[in-house]
Amino acid sequence: MKWDWNAVGDFMPAFWHGLLVTLQVLALGSLVSFTLGLVWTLLVRTPLRWVRWPVGVVTEFVRNTPLLVQLFFLFYVLPEWGLTFSALATGVFAVGLHYSTYTMQVYRAGIEAVPAGQWEAATALNLPRRRTWTAVILPQAIRRVVPALGNYVIAMLKDTPILMLITVPEMLQRARLFSQQHFQFTEPITVIGVAFVLISYLASLLLRALERRLVR
Amino acid sequence: MLGGLAALGALGAAGCTRVAAASGKAGGDLLDRLRAQGVVRLGIAGEVPFGYIDKDGRLTGEAPELAKVIFKRLGVGRVQPVPTEFGSLIPGLNSQQFDVVAAGMYVNPERCQQVIFADPDYQMLDSFIVRKGNPLGLHSYRDVVAKKAKFATGTGYAEIQYAVEAGYKEGDILIVPDQVAGLNAVEAGRVDVFAGTALTTREVVRKSAKAEATRPFAPLVKGTPHVDGGAFAFRPAETSLRDAFNGELRKLKKSGELFRILRPFGFTKAEMTGLTAKELCGG
């Protein structure tokens, strides 16, 4: 096996572009999954059965089908019904939606872990329902689940290469295109491998710091 | 004795490449091994009409059908397909996943540095897949650049180079897995144009209500129109297999049998060629 530093140099411009796309997907995907996840959790807690059930069915369905199948569905099937989004937008939405069905469970655990006394106190103070949620329950619940949410960010990072299959030019796609053109595989694949380790590690450091600040 | 030493030297020089890739005998002994096994593995890219698996699960296409005939004459009775992506054909060949690339691959200088080619069995022009009626009026790579059209082609396709040569920014090219995904991208409006060989594009738009193929044209290479030739590719060490293959191919060309084998796949007399791999490998 030969290692060619020139190939690394040649790959770098493409690599930076790929890194940018990967981070973009990760940031936007996290945002979508955190938001949607919270929406799902709150919806399945409503007393209205005709809201609770459909949301439960949909999220169960999404969680129990492979991300790749969802990705292909959104990218290849939706356009047939006249709904076309860019590859990047499709990718962000697919990752965000898929992971929102996991984060909803994280939020649920957080909400259920808020002591019953807090609910009772809110009732005793005659707080409106809305204030109970926004000022009492959610702040405590979300604090508790930040580490668990962080784990999903890292899992999401490791799932971003799947987007290559719908032509999103993230890191792995860039490495592959470079390899096919220059017939050098070792260098670009190694570079992105190292990049994934570094990003995951930095993200976990960041999360630990955040955890120390939030969970006391 | 000397031969033995040379073989040892060759092995030493090859370093840690796999032994099979650098067998002792000059020109490689792959043909002997294939004869002993009775089967040759063909790398195909699932591209109609070059090499693909048909509705009944049977391997067919221009290149595999030709391979069946030629390898039978060389004493190898059976062919076995190994489907992969077009862009993975050369790496797959060099990493021993199959013995021959039978995908009607264009011969070009970059590829000649990685593999050796038999002489082309056909010649071919390029064509675009565009939306019905060709709203942007795209007929060449120059048009694509001038009209700022969104351009797509397949992984590892020679068309990437043609577009770049016409002035298209390489980073802006959308690379799709194959021609069906390319058709889909045009139909969905993600791109304006997908470039491929005249035959592939003609075949793939056949069932499409929203897209059509443009009239075939010769891409410009260094300012002059360039006609491509597609051929079988072999690992660089296997020159004796390549030469034996070329010998049989030449006979098929002379007898006109080649045209009879290729005609069912939409090839015409215009695609029969006297080009050689050497000419196309160029400098």
Question: How do the pLDDT tens digits run along chain B, 283 residues long?
Answer: 344 444 444 444 444 444 444 445 688 899 999 999 999 999 999 888 999 999 998 999 999 999 999 999 999 999 999 999 888 899 999 999 999 999 999 999 989 999 999 999 999 999 999 999 999 999 999 999 999 999 999 988 999 999 999 999 988 899 998 899 999 999 999 999 999 999 889 889 998 999 999 999 999 988 889 999 999 999 999 999 999 999 999 999 999 999 999 999 989 888 999 999 999 998 5
Q: Does B88 contact A at CB distance below 8 Å?
A: yes
Contacts of B38 by beta carbon, 8 Å cutoff, 6+ apart: B76, B77, B78
* pLDDT tens digit at each of 216 positions of chain A: 678 899 999 999 999 999 999 999 999 999 999 999 999 999 999 899 999 999 999 999 999 999 999 999 999 999 889 888 899 999 999 999 999 999 999 999 999 999 999 999 999 999 999 999 999 999 999 988 988 999 999 999 999 999 999 999 999 999 988 888 888 888 999 999 999 999 999 999 988 888 888 766
Domains of chain A: 19-170 (1.10.3720.10)
Distance CA A141, CA A108 (A): 9
The span from the CA of B197 to the CA of B178, in Å, is 12
Listed by start position, the domains of chain B span: 14-123+228-281, 126-225
CA distance A146 to chain B (A): 38
Q: B126-225: which CATH number, 3.40.190.10, 3.40.50.300, 3.40.50.170, 3.30.70.100? A: 3.40.190.10
From chain B residues 123-162, the ones with a CB under 8 A of any chain A CB are: 155-156, 160
Instruction: Please give the Cα distance from A133 to A111 (Å, whole number).
Output: 10
What token pair was written down for B132?
A: 């019905």
Residues of A at the B interface (Cβ-Cβ below 8 Å)? 1, 14, 17, 76, 79, 84, 86-87, 165, 167, 169, 173, 176-177, 179-181, 183, 185
Whether the CB of B175 is below 8 Å from some CB of chain A: the reply is yes
Contacts of A17 in chain B (CB under 8 A): 171
DSSP string, B153-220: EETT-THHHHHHHTT--GGGPEEESSHHHHHHHHHTTS-SEEEEEHHHHHHHTTT-SSEEEPPPBPPE
In angstroms, what separates the C-alpha of B255 from chain A's closest C-alpha?
A: 37
Identify the residue whose tokens are 């196309």. Answer: B280
Specify the pLDDT at position B253.
95
pLDDT value for B195: 96
Give tens-digit pLDDT for A190-212.
999 999 999 999 999 988 888 88
Entry pTM: 0.79
Contacts with B171 from chain A: Cβ below 8 Å: 14, 17
Q: Which chain B residue is nearest to residue A165, measuring alpha carbons? A: B177
The partner residue sitting opposite A76, judged by closest CB among B94, B171, B184, is B184
With contacts defined as CB-CB under 8 Å, which chain B residues touch A84?
A: 188-190
pLDDT value at position A59? 96
* Residues of chain B contacting A179 with CB distance shorter than 8 Å: 91
Same fold, B14-123+228-281 and B126-225: yes
Cβ within 8 Å, pair B90-A1: no
Instruction: Write the class of the CATH domain B14-123+228-281.
Output: alpha beta
Q: Which of B155, B185, B187 sits opposite A180 (nearest CB)?
A: B155
